[in-house]
Every structure is written in structure tokens, then in C-alpha cells.
């Protein structure tokens, strides 16, 4: 019940933020988002049908498509989130005035707030847009990734926006989408970006011990063999926050200046030892 209550709270907050971004920044300036939300905005503009109603009606079929993939809990929470988005869109349009008519400010702040809202909903096991669910279904039948399918869908939507609103609005819409995408990443993946490091050294255990003692980070030793030299080496694997990356590289170089270091981004890390 506690987990469910938290999910509902943040899904509600996320839906409100998304509605606020739509009605106070994007819709008044004819800037759209990608996906089903963008289709709903253009359809509402052409037909004068209530935007909140369109967001609900157009999203629901795609939400139910997720039943086999994600289960009843996800569908129920997504249904709730989409319903709240529809209600909040009508509430905000009736009670909160437009924040700005400046196109650039609307694209930047509208995209950022929209991404924040969508990210909160996604982080709490729900969704506000059925495009990704549709893309997952298509990717199972055709040799394209989910990301490629979503990109194709959104390119088509923004081209349609260019014909409907004008190409300047379409470019601002693309900017809004990119900002929202980055904001979603920041919420879902977190602002504290971790790095994974693979260190190959002739002094593997000395390097590992220095990392443990000086940075209080756990390491894993992996036995390796040089492909060219055939010499036995020790590879160290560890994960550190980005802020400690420079310090770790300096520490490794102080122990073995000839060490080989490979660094990659890590989106999520789980494990009690790492948190400690």
C-alpha cells in the first residue's frame, strides 16, 4: 500500500506538470510534442475537439496493448495517469493563464516541465503516451529497434506539424521534444551519473587495493591475457560516480602509469555494497 500510494502521488504530480506545460506553454504557441500527445494536439487544433478528451481516447487503446507485456498493474496505473492528464489539461486551461508567448521560452521551459512530468510518471511504473508501447509491438515484427521506430513516428508527426502550423513551429516543436527527452532521462536515470571502469594493469592487485583504501570503492578482479603479448594480466572492474572519476584516474596512474583504462556510462546501479 505504501508503494502504491507513492506511485499514485508522483503519477498525479507528473500528470499535472505535463498538463501545465501543455496548456501554459505549448498549446497557446502552437508547439507540439511527439507521440500520441502531439497527434492529439494537432487533431484538437483541426477539429476543435477537447484536447483532454482526445488525450484519453487516443492513448487508451495503446495502454491496453501493454497488458501482455507489462501486466495488469502497469495498465491500471497507466490508465489512471492518462485519465489524470486529461482532467488536468481541462483544469489548467480553465483556471491558469498562459505563462509566456515567447516561442523560444515556451519551447525550453515547456519541454523541460513536460519532460519532468512524463519522467515522474515513467519512474513510477506508468506512462502518459502510448507511442513506446506501439513501437515495442512493431519492433517484434520488423527488424527495427524501439528507438528507431519512435524516431520515425516523431519525424512524421513533426513534418505534419510543419504543414499544419508552419515550419518555424515545427522546428520549435523538435526543440521541445529534445529538451523533454533529456529531462525524462534526468528523472528516470537520475542526475548522478555513474561510470564503469575496466583497468588492465601488470600491478592489478596493487591498483585495486589503492582504490579500496583511498576511495572506499569495491573492485572485482578478472584474470585476463594480453592478445599480443600473451602475458597474464589482472583486469579490475569498478563503478564510481562521475565526480570521482578524475581522482580515480590519477590514483591508478600513480600506481601504474602504463595501466590501460576503459570508461563507460552506467545508467543504473543496484547493490548494497555500492550504496555503502
Give the mean pLDDT of the chain. 84
At 170-210, the pLDDT tens digits run 899 999 988 988 888 777 766 556 788 899 888 888 888 98
CA angle 35, 39, 43 (to 5 degrees): 170
Q: Is the pTM of this model over 0.85?
A: no
Q: Name every residue whose Cβ is closer than 8 Å to that of residue 207 and which is 6 or more positions away in sequence.
A: 199, 201, 236, 252, 255, 256, 259
Tell me yes or no: is domain 194-275 CATH 3.40.50.970.
no
pLDDT above 70 covers what percent of the chain?
93
At 125-166, the pLDDT tens digits run 788 888 877 877 787 777 776 667 888 888 888 898 889 888
Rounded distance, CA 118 to CA 168, Å? 25
List the domain boundaries for the chain: 2-189, 194-275
Strand partners, 237: 198, 220
Amino acid at each position: 500500500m505504501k508503494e502504491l500510494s507513492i506511485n499514485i502521488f508522483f503519477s498525479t504530480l507528473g500528470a499535472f506538470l505535463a498538463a501545465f506545460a501543455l496548456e501554459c506553454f505549448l498549446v497557446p504557441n502552437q508547439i507540439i510534442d511527439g507521440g500520441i500527445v502531439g497527434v492529439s494536439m494537432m487533431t484538437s487544433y483541426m477539429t476543435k475537439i477537447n484536447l483532454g478528451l482526445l488525450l484519453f481516447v487516443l492513448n487508451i487503446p495503446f495502454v491496453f496493448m501493454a497488458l501482455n507485456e507489462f501486466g495488469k498493474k502497469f495498465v491500471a496505473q497507466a490508465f489512471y495517469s492518462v485519465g489524470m492528464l486529461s482532467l488536468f489539461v481541462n483544469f489548467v486551461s480553465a483556471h491558469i493563464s498562459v505563462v509566456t508567448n515567447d516561442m523560444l521560452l515556451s519551447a525550453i521551459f515547456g519541454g523541460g516541465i513536460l519532460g519532468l512530468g512524463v519522467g515522474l510518471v515513467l519512474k513510477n511504473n506508468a506512462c502518459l503516451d502510448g507511442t513506446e508501447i506501439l513501437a515495442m509491438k512493431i519492433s517484434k515484427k520488423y527488424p527495427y529497434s524501439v528507438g528507431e521506430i519512435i524516431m520515425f513516428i516523431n519525424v512524421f508527426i513533426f513534418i505534419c506539424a510543419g504543414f499544419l502550423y508552419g515550419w518555424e513551429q515545427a522546428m520549435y516543436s523538435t526543440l521541445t521534444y529534445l529538451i523533454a527527452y533529456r529531462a525524462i532521462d534526468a528523472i528516470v536515470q537520475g542526475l548522478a551519473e555513474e561510470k564503469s571502469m575496466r583497468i588492465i594493469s601488470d600491478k592489478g592487485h596493487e591498483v585495486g587495493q589503492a582504490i579500496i583504501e583511498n576511495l572506499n570503492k569495491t573492485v572485482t578482479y578478472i584474470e585476463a591475457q594480453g592478445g599480443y603479448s600473451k602475458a597474464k594480466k589482472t583486469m579490475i572492474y569498478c563503478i564510481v560516480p562521475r565526480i570521482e572519476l578524475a581522482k580515480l584516474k590519477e590514483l591508478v596512474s600513480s600506481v601504474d602509469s602504463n595501466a590501460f583504462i576503459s570508461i563507460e556510462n552506467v545508467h543504473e546501479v543496484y547493490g548494497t555494497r555500492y550504496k555503502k
